[in-house]
Amino acid sequence: MAVVRADSEAPIIEVRGLENRFGDQIVHQDLNLDVRRGEIIGVVGGSGTGKSVLMRSIIGLQTPAAGTIEVLGENMVGRSEDEAKNIRRRWGILFQNGALFSTLTVAENVEVPLREYFPKFGSQLMDEIASYKISMSGLPAEAGNKYPSELSGGMRKRAGLARALALDPELLFLDEPTAGLDPIGAQAFDQLILSLQKKLELTVFLITHDLDSLYAICDRVAVLADRRVIAVDTIDRLLQMDHPWIQEYFNGPRGRAAAAA
């Protein structure tokens, strides 16, 4: 279990009264969540509870029907694209499966956010930064010249992580980063995230189904159920709750195996 890092500062992410709906379907209602600076917070919930929708709302890709969202002290709801752009450069995102541009090499993918925010950087500086981020993500140097189709699934995720780190973010959003990886690859990726979080003093917002990841690297876990966040706490304290989903999830066969490991 990771050690919870106490922090007296205001939350780096603050969600209040969030409501998301698609037509008549209400995904979130009166959802509240605080994310502390410097923590790795895992977000879990059953299918259809809107874990990715919550992340998309926080990063401004989903407009909520109601509620407020503050990230890094800035309101994210109703901001113009130009206003939001200055905030977005302070975070990085690893989408499921890496979401790399298939017609660009790994290095060119990493350089995409650099070209957007720092267009005056010379090509040599761009290449040097991309090379550094690729190495930081645990990929060999020659991976920079490869296309996503030439990489394994695990390498594509690391390439996506390198791009997410391109702008030296304060916040890192990870959507199911270990999905599809074998146990050894998933464990290595977890340890990479933990190492980067410590070295770069990142705050990590992690959506996952991987119980091993929750136990290995998360300081706290936020549980989505009943259209809201029903609890945010350490796994030990969550286990003391009598909510049926929490008990089934953490005390099922996989949960017991992850706890034993």
Q: Which DSSP string do the residues of 81-135 spell out, in sequence order?
A: HHHHHHHHTTEEEE-TT----TTS-HHHHHHHHHHHH-TTS-HHHHHHHHHHHHH
Q: For 12-21, 188-197, 244-253, which range has the lowest pLDDT when averaged over its residues?
A: 244-253
pLDDT score recorded for residue 253: 65
Question: What digits encode the pLDDT tens for the residues 194-215?
Answer: 999 999 999 999 999 999 999 9
DSSP state of 145: G
- Report the number of distinct structural domains present in the chain: 1
Reported confidence tier of residue 261, pLDDT bands at 50, 70, 90: low
Average pLDDT over residues 12-31: 96
Range of the domain at 158: 101-167
Reported confidence tier of residue 81, pLDDT bands at 50, 70, 90: confident
Give Cβ neighbours of residue 252 (< 8 Å, ≥ 6 apart): none
pLDDT score recorded for residue 7: 45
Residue 110 inside a domain? The answer is: yes
Residue 222 inside a domain? The answer is: no
Reported confidence tier of residue 8, pLDDT bands at 50, 70, 90: very low
pLDDT-above-90 percentage for the chain:
80
For residue 203, list its beta bridge partners: 171
Residue 95 inside a domain? The answer is: no
Q: For 28-42, 56-70, 80-94, which range has the lowest pLDDT when averaged over its residues?
A: 80-94
Residue 64 inside a domain? The answer is: no
Distance, in Å, from the CA atom of 251 to the CA atom of 248, rounded to the nearest integer, reads 5
Residue 131 inside a domain? The answer is: yes
Residue 146 inside a domain? The answer is: yes
Residue 136 inside a domain? The answer is: yes
Residue 150 inside a domain? The answer is: yes
